[in-house]
A and B are shown apart, each in its own frame.
Chain A
Amino acid sequence: MTTKDIFITDKNLKYRKLKSNMVLIFCVFASILTVLPLLYIFFYTTASGFTHLSLDFLIQMPKPVGETGGGMANAIVGTLILIGLASVIGIPVGILSGIYVAEYSGGIFSNIVKFVTDVLSGTPSIIIGIFAYTVIVLTTGSFSALSGGFALGIIMIPTVTRITEEMLKLVPQSIREASLALGISRWRTTLNIVLKTALPGITTGILLAIARIAGETAPLLFTSFGNQFFSLSLDEPIASLPIQIYNYAKSPYTDWHQQAWAGAMVLVLLVFIINLIVRFFTKNKFSSDV
């Protein structure tokens, strides 16, 4: 048998090549299929939101049904307040547990923290909402901004913990050694040297966490509840963009639907811009050390 014969005898080859190409074409097709809804959602939301977005939308209060115009100023402010509250709870706890897991790893307790963080990040947000409800709403007796912020804060924790841990692990060991070799204590090293080096990365992680909670709806349904009026107090129900969108979208009024589209666009743009910023800043991360 000559070499030539070997090639000719593989009668399957044509079939195999065809199969290979079919699968590869499917992969391309799948990618297009995945990206399409995104582009569709993005452009649909922007297009329908843009026509209804105006200055009024941003600074005016909601008008009663039947009257045109009005805006979601209360919801925007409410969302900002909720994000603020959530950050006060979620960021310090998240960073501290991230430091604990990354810098003091090995112990049983740090593994427990890691496991709990993983579980927490997979827990449906509505469960967190129930938790915030039983802890705060049941004890204080009313829906409040505080309970909403508490729920969102807990949702933030795993994201912040995870990103802190990963960023701290990217800091080269030599930096830690340099600091310790100068006689700088362990916690000073962690706080002033290591954390400072990892700060840009952690900041982007926090931004991502904020982008996530800004759109959270489910846990707010029965914590911050929603409010048609302007409110700044923390122990009363407060409006928020996602809830307002939800309520308006379910309503039968076209005018409210349009308002909801504008709100949806604000949220989508927020998420998009934050992701773009994060992408831009994480591109060159630590490239100078490697």
Chain B
Amino acid sequence: MDNVLEVKGLSRSFPGFQLKDISFTLPKGYIMGLIGPNGSGKTTTIKLILNMLKRDGGEVKILGLDNIAEEKAAKAELAVVFDSNYFCEAWTAAQTEAAVSGFYENWDTNRFHQLLERFRIDPAKKVKDLSRGMQMKLMLACAFSYGAKLLILDEPTSGLDPVSRDELLTILSGYIEDGEHSVLFSTHITGDLERAADYITYINRGSLFFTGGKDEFVDSFRIVKGGPEDLTEEIKARLIGLRTHPTGFEALVRTEDLERMRRTGGKAAENRSVRGNRDSETVRFPAYTGALGKSSPVDSWTVEPATIDEIVVFTSKTPDDNGE
């Protein structure tokens, strides 16, 4: 499979913050969400990819082109949209074309004007008079007019209302539909990615926490809620971002740890079928206490799938966040 973006061992130090050894790959035709709390290094990563910041180490390849040695060729294939407008606000929407089209060989002016029409942007309107959502769509219109193969978005939805955010996701879904275009979408509003992202790269405090398929990411965690008396030291060690209150606790736990905890308590619930187990889904049956063993405390807990938001929130907590 062709990779449209390959990042290997990217690092950069600042006083007070270090981006260490970030590696991930985005195959062609997919959407990757770059997630993490504010200040975790997402924008730094994007700026390093664009060579707007100098890297201390690592390698970045865009469509096989090195992002420094072949910077110009690489940038001709990509487009960037930031969280706020980067055009001169005194320009009209049509003038943005005049300003940037000269730099791209295959600029399609018909397509640009069709897009302005589709996004309902008046070409004669000044950029500063456009709403935030429209300004973002103007940046997209430019991006789509020269056939950019990789679209990088850095916090494009912050400050947008839900309608515009939804519109953006529709536009992006259409963009990757032919399998030839890809998206790297950095955001801390992860709700946008819950459904649409194919891959997730999660950066936390400058380090890579996870990179891989979104379904795999979400599937490998569970939210558990239970009574406070169930918290043994052994169990606490496995819980992530534990939040306790007098009436109970909630935490994030890795699915494999949860299974292990279930088994140490007593007879584990199993997927029973006389003809053998063909289903690939994980356990959803209620607890089953065997005749011999006692049940694990896990069996009384509420176990729910975790959303991307919850995973980020719980994994970002430091031990002193809730007095634990």
Answer yes or no: do A and B interact.
Answer: no
